[in-house]
A = this chain, B = another copy of it.
Amino acid sequence: MTPELLEDVAARFKVLAEPARLQVLDALADGPRHVSALMEATGLNQANLSKHLQMLHAHGFVSRRREGLFVYYELADDSVFTLCDLACGAVEARAQRAAERHARPRR
């Protein structure tokens, strides 16, 4: 593990370490959307959403395509959902264990 690779991987995780961006990715799961549609889907305001989209694009998570006045964003990296599923799975497993400890606290 070279220091640069650590940096790059950490940077990639950092992009995903933000609920708003996960929400955007989730909104893109069904297909391309333009910015206004994403604003509505996520509730983010225009400037904020635009910045998140810039970051997602800069890191290769989404691609963009202009059509007239609209800019369509689309998922560019299928591995995102694998990552999220793994993270979700771990989160849920922890919640489950916590619930079980609460149900029958053996300590």
Which residues of A does B touch, CB under 8 Å?
1, 3, 5-14, 16-19, 22-23, 26, 60, 77, 79, 82-84, 86-91, 94
Contact = CB atoms under 8 A, between A and B. Distances in A.
Contact of A86 (B6, B79, B88, B89): B79
A17 B13 contact: yes
A54 to B, nearest CB: 17
Name the prevailing secondary structure of the A interface residues: helix
Given A77-B90, A94-B60, A18 B22 contact: no
Given A14-B17, A60-B94, A9 B87 contact: yes
A26 B83 CA distance: 18
Contact of A22 (B10, B16, B77): B10
